[in-house]
Each structure stands twice: as structure tokens, then as C-alpha cells.
């Protein structure tokens, strides 16, 4: 029997459920405020209150966004006294954002060059 090449690009079509799960994850990254929270957490752990202050958004809003990120497995939380400390729980988040930023930089520079 032929063994499947590891580099074989022939990918099977994804099921509806898989598509929904993947879309759910990407949706967690599809809001500027959530990206801002992740961006702040990339500098280190923060309490919810600190994120409220530094994000400039309201407390209820930050709490809800953090819930979305937590359900997506991207942010973790641990309670310590009255405060809740948040941290990035999935290093993939950094990679994804890094890739996207890099790609955007390339495109913008390309467009800028086209205008010069």
C-alpha cells in the first residue's frame, strides 16, 4: 500500500462541523478590541481591571470579550484574591497575529511602492 507523502497537498474537503469550529476560532480574532486585549497580554499577564484601564473600553465590554477569548482557548485566567489575572493560553495566537501583521506590512509596502 502506498504511504501518504507528508508533503502531499491533496487535502480532503472539510466537514460542516469542522468549518464551523474553525470559523468560531477565527471569529474570536476578528474584532479589534479583542486583538487589542491580546496585544496587551502579549506584554505579560494583566488583571481584568488593568485591561479595562489600558484598553480604554468599559468593564462589561472587556469582561465579555475576555469570555469569548477564553472559550476559544486563547486566553487563560486564574483568580488571585479579588483580582483575575489573564494570560495568553495558546502560543498560536502570537503566531497568527505575527503572520497577519507581516503579510499586511508586505502588502502596504508594495502598494506604497506602486504609488511612488
Partner DNA sequence: AAACTACATTCTTATATAGCGATTCAAAAG
Partner DNA sequence: CTTTTGAATCGCTATATAAGAATGTAGTTT
Compare residues 29 and 97 and give the one whose CB is closer to DNA. Answer: 29
Using CB under 8 A, pick the residue from 2, 3, 43, 82 that binds a copy of itself. Answer: 43
Residue 88 near residue 74 (C-beta atoms within 8 A): yes
Nearest to 101 by CA among 38, 9, 51, 18: 38
47 to 66: interface string for a copy of itself, x by CB under 8 A: --------------------
Residue 52 near residue 62 (C-beta atoms within 8 A): yes
Using CB under 7 A, pick the residue from 47, 54, 96, 97 that binds DNA. Answer: 47
Residue 84 near residue 41 (C-beta atoms within 8 A): no
53 binds, among a copy of itself, DNA, none (CB under 5 to 8 A by kind): none
79 lies in the binding site for DNA (CB under 7 A): yes
78 lies in the binding site for a copy of itself (CB under 8 A): no
Residue 75 near residue 86 (C-beta atoms within 8 A): yes
Amino acid at each position: 500500500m502506498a504511504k501518504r507523502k507528508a508533503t502531499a497537498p491533496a487535502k480532503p474537503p472539510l466537514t460542516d462541523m469542522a468549518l464551523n469550529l474553525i470559523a468560531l476560532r477565527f471569529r474570536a480574532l476578528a474584532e479589534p478590541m479583542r486583538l487589542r486585549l491580546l496585544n496587551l497580554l502579549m506584554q505579560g499577564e494583566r488583571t481584568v481591571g488593568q485591561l479595562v484601564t489600558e484598553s480604554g473600553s468599559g468593564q462589561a465590554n472587556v469582561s465579555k470579550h475576555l469570555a469569548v477569548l477564553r472559550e476559544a482557548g486563547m486566553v487563560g485566567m486564574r483568580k488571585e484574591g479579588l483580582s483575575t489575572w489573564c494570560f495568553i493560553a495558546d502560543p498560536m495566537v502570537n503566531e497568527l497575529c505575527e503572520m497577519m501583521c507581516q503579510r499586511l506590512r508586505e502588502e502596504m509596502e508594495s502598494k506604497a511602492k506602486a504609488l511612488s
